[in-house]
Structure 1
Amino acid sequence: MTTRTEPSSARTAERRSWLREHSELGVCVLLLVLGVLVLTDALTMDVDIAQRGPVGPKTVPVVVGTGLLVIAALLAVDVLRGGRGQAEGGEDVDLSEPADWRTVLLLAGIFLGTSVLIEPLGFPAAGALLFWGAAFALGSRRLDRDPLIAAALSLVTYVVFDKLLGVPLPGGPLMGVL
Structure 2
Amino acid sequence: MSTESLDASGTRPDHRPGQLAMGVAAIVLSAVLAYGAANIPSDAGYAGVGPDFLPWIVSAVMAICGVMLIWEVRTGGYRNMEEPSGAARGDWHALAWVAAGILGNAALITTIGFILSCALCYLLAVRGLRISEGKPGGDTMQLVRDAVVGMLISAPTYWLFTKFLAVNLPGLTSGGWI
Normalised to the residue count of structure 2, the TM-score between the two structures is: 0.68
- Quote the residue 2:126 is aligned against: 135
Q: For residues 155-175 of structure 1, what are the alpha-carbon distances to aligned partners after superposition, in whole Å with 9 as ceiling and x for unaligned? A: 112112222222211111485
Q: What is the distance in 2 between the residues matched to 1:71 and 1:115?
A: 30
Contact 1:121 1:173 in 2 (8 A): no
User: Does the aligned pair in 2 maintain the 1:28–1:76 contact within 8 Å?
Assistant: yes
User: Which segments of 5 or more consecutive residues in structure 2 lack a partner in the other structure?
Assistant: 1-7, 131-136
Q: Rate the CA distance shift 1:59–1:118 in 2: closer, same or farther, 3 A.
A: closer
Whether 1:77 aligns to 2:71 is: yes
Count of aligned residue pairs for this structure pair: 160
Highest Rg: 1 or 2?
A: 1
Matches within 5 A, 1:84-95: 84-88=78-82, 91-95=84-88
Deviation per residue, 1:94-149 (Å, 9 max, x gap): 31xx5433322233333333333322221122222222233334334425633322
Compute the displacement of 1:177 (Å): 7.9
Match of 2:3 in 1: none
Q: 1: CA distance between counterparts of 2:163 and 2:67?
A: 43
User: Are 1:114 and 2:114 an aligned pair?
Assistant: no
Structure 2 residue aligned with 1:34? 29
Q: CA–CA distance in 2 between the matches of 1:52 and 1:144? A: 46
- Give unmatched runs, 5+ long, in structure 1: 1-13
- For the residue of structure 1 that corresponds to 2:47, the secondary structure is coil
Aligned to 1:165: 165
RMSD across aligned positions (CA) = 3.3
3-state DSSP of counterpart to 1:136: helix
Question: Structure 2: how far apart are the matches of 1:18 and 1:120?
Answer: 54
CA distance in 2, matches of 1:134, 1:170: 21
